Amino acid sequence: MTKEIQELIEEAIKLVLDAQKIVIFTGTGLSTDSGMSGTTGSSISTSKESSFPTFVGNPTTRRKSWQTWNMFRMIELAQPNPAHYAITELYTMGKLDCVITQNVDGLHQKAGVPDEKVIELHGSLRRVKCVNCDRRYPIIEVAKRLGDGEEGSICSECGGLLKAATVSFGEPPPTAEIEEAEQHARNCDLFMLLGSSLMVYPAAYMPIYAKEAGAKLIIINVGAASMDESADVLIDMDVGKVLLRIIEGVKNKLA
């Protein structure tokens, strides 16, 4: 790493050490090393081919969605990468307030961050939901039923259609999760934006809320993000490599 990058890492280490309530915001760039770049972030949410109206109104689309065995298996087999575990270290230190994520892969939870500490703005591919009563089922349970020959997937509670519990094109963002994320963003003292270019709203408002409330802002991302000019520390590099150095530096200072 260059001297300039090392100096930025040292600045980030100091900000993490000084912080008491850290909010981590993650996007697609965090899960790329876990092989999940095609099923994370806004790519799930903004595809018109898998839009909510099309899913509900087109039996062929529903059958294709229900039969995506490879995606179900990939979600179950995917493992966290070092960046996910680095974030879990912040939780272990008692500094992590919450993770706000655009990703739908559940890898933060697999890495050891409690489910109640993760706010999934675009939903999760670990679960399916009934479009009628909103009951949730583990996706592997439904995948097994389909694999055993069930041609359609309906709710055992009300008979409604089941779809992946992600925010599809044409669906409104989850109000409760957006409001919870905003509350945490406005009450943190350090906001760390990792692996997102902030192209999707209302998720992209979160670092704005944090800065408005006086929080420091660290951005680690390959390429530009819309909040770059507001960052206290801006590092244009692979998230995993940089985050590991930051967390290691923090642990050394606390030792």
Q: What does pTM read for this prediction?
A: 0.83
Give the position of tokens 């530009």: 224
Cα(204)–Cα(188) distance, integer angstroms: 16
The pLDDT of residue 59 is 64
- Residue 32: CB partners within 8 Å, gap ≥ 6? 195
122 is catalytic: yes
3-254, what's its fold? Rossmann fold (3.40.50)
pLDDT digits (tens, 9 = 90+) for 38-51: 444 444 444 555 56
Categorize the per-residue pLDDT at 227 as very low, low, confident or very high, splitting at 50, 70 and 90.
Answer: confident
Categorize the per-residue pLDDT at 225 as very low, low, confident or very high, splitting at 50, 70 and 90.
Answer: confident
pLDDT digits (tens, 9 = 90+) for 138-166: 877 777 776 666 666 778 889 888 887 88
Across the chain, mean pLDDT equals 84
The pLDDT of residue 185 is 98
The secondary structure of residue 160, as a DSSP letter, is -
Average pLDDT in the 80-94 region?
Answer: 95
The pLDDT of residue 129 is 85
The secondary structure of residue 49, as a DSSP letter, is G
3-state SS, residue 101? strand
Cα angle vertex 119, ends 118, 121, to 5°? 140
The pLDDT of residue 160 is 85
Give the position of tokens 């990468």: 81
Nearest in space to 231 (alpha carbons), one of 213, 207, 204, 249: 207
Contact at 8 Å (CB) between 219 and 230?
A: no
The pLDDT of residue 50 is 57
Amino acid identity for residue 148 in this structure? D
